Every structure is written in C-alpha cells, then in structure tokens.
C-alpha cells in the first residue's frame, strides 16, 4: 500500500468517525433532523441553551464534509487515467461545498440570530430571518442539494471503480465474414 493510499484510507476513517460522532451529537443536542421543521423561536432558544454541544457537533460534521474533496482526489488517483477524473473531482468539491454551506449556517448565522432573538425588541425579526434562512441554507442546500450530490458522487465513484476493476476483453472475432456478421 502506497503512502497516498494510506492517507486516503486514514481520511476515509476520520471522515466516517467525525461524521457519525458529529451527527450523533447534533441529534442529542439539537434534535436533528426534526429541528429543521421545529418552530423557529423554540429552535433559537435551544441553540442558546446548548450552543457548545451544537458547535462541537457541527465542527465534527464539518470536518467530515471537508474531507470529501481530498478523499475524492485520493480515490481518483487510484483509478486509471481518463475523462472521468475532472467530473469526479468537481462532484466531490460540490458535495463538500453543499454540506459545508449547510453546516456553516448552523455554526455562524444561527448563533447570531439566537442572540438577537433573546432581545425582546429584535425577537420577531430574528425569528423570521432564521425561518427563511433555515429553509434555504439548512434544508434546500444543506439537506436536499447535499444529499443529491452525495448520492451522485457515490454512484459516480462506484461506477468508475467497478469499470476499472472489470478486465477488458478483446472483441470477439466473428468466424463469419464482416458483411455476414453485420447482417
């Protein structure tokens, strides 16, 4: 096993562990994924109450998402050269970007809105902004787009890996003359 293969394997392991631990922490601290449809005022109060645990979960899930691109590059290097390489790399970057966009929303924007929602004169505005932003960044980008891209990335990598593992057979030579074979 080469150094590049070891590094990719280690990143895959770290990605899996960080993703699992991060999402488990978000499940316990924030009631993820139900929080995506919970009343906005309740969610913002929950964020103020459990910010440290939520921050740890988001950072761990973010590490997992951020590792998708270097993992993709490592896997693509193991595959035979071909026109699929840029597509797989772009798909890996888009997948990581969509996941990170959704997670950074929870790490940066939501705490600021939660603090504003604690001020009685700003609570209604902060709640309305949070509800709209949660739909766009948390649901549409972080959940829907990220999941579609993850599925596409997975299928593309597996398809290419399966093609690379399948031995190429030379075309069968027909015993018939070419015109008869075509007919």
pLDDT of residue 12: 96
pLDDT at 181 over 50: no
Q: 41 is written with which tokens?
A: 């005022």
Please give the mean pLDDT across all residues of the chain.
91
The distance of Cα 150 from the centroid of its chain, to the nearest Å, equals 6
Average pLDDT over residues 157-174: 74
With a cut of 70, say whether residue 176 has pLDDT above it.
no
Task: Count the residues in the chain.
Answer: 183
Q: In the structure, what pLDDT confidence band is assigned to residue 163 with cuts at 50, 70 and 90?
A: confident
Q: pLDDT class for 81, splitting at 50, 70, 90?
A: confident
- Taking a C-beta distance cutoff of 8 angstroms, is the pair 11, 67 a contact? yes
Query: Which pTM was predicted?
Result: 0.85
What's the CA gap between 159 and 136, in Å, rounded? 31
Question: Are the beta carbons of 135 and 109 closer than 8 angstroms?
Answer: no
Q: How high is the pLDDT of residue 15?
A: 97
Q: 49-58, 86-95, 132-141, 159-168: which has the minimum mean pLDDT?
A: 159-168
The residue extents of the domains of the chain are 3-164
| Proportion of the chain above pLDDT 70, given as a percent | 91
Give the pLDDT confidence of 22-63 residue by residue, as tens digits.
999 999 999 999 999 999 999 999 999 999 999 999 999 999
| HEC-encoded secondary structure of 151-176 | HHHHHHHHHHHHHHHCCCCCCCCCCC
Q: Of residues 154 and 163, which shows the higher confidence score?
A: 154
Give the whole-number percent of the chain exceeding pLDDT 90. Answer: 77
Across the range 90-119, mean pLDDT stands at 97
> What pLDDT score was predicted for residue 179?
55
**CA pair distance 23, 6, nearest whole angstrom:** 26
How far apart CA 100 and CA 105 sit, in angstroms, is 8
Cα 52 to Cα 47, 61, 65, 102: the distances in Å are 9, 14, 20, 18
Q: What is the mean pLDDT of residues 113-123?
A: 97
Residue-wise pLDDT tens digits, 5-22: 999 999 999 999 999 999
Q: What separation in angstroms does the CA of 95 have from each of 19, 70, 99, 149, 156?
A: 14, 12, 6, 5, 12
User: Omega before 62 cis (within 30°)?
Assistant: no
């Amino acid at each position: 096993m080469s150094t590049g293969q070891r590094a990719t394997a280690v990143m895959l392991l770290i990605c899996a562990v960080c993703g699992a631990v991060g999402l488990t922490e978000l499940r316990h601290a924030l009631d993820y994924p139900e929080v995506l449809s919970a009343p906005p005022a309740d969610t913002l109060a929950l964020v103020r109450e459990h910010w440290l645990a939520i921050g740890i979960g988001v950072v761990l899930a973010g590490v997992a998402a951020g590792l998708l691109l270097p993992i993709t590059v490592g896997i693509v290097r193991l595959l035979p050269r071909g026109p699929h390489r840029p597509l797989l790399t772009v798909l890996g970057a888009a997948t990581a970007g969509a996941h990170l966009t959704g997670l950074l929303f929870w790490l940066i924007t939501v705490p600021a809105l939660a603090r504003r929602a604690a001020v009685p004169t700003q609570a209604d505005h902060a709640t309305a902004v949070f509800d709209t932003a949660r739909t766009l960044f948390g649901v549409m980008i972080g959940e829907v787009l990220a999941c579609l891209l993850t599925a596409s990335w997975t299928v593309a990598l597996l398809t290419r890996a399966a093609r690379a593992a399948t031995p190429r057979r030379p075309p069968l030579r027909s015993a018939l003359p070419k015109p008869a074979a075509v007919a």
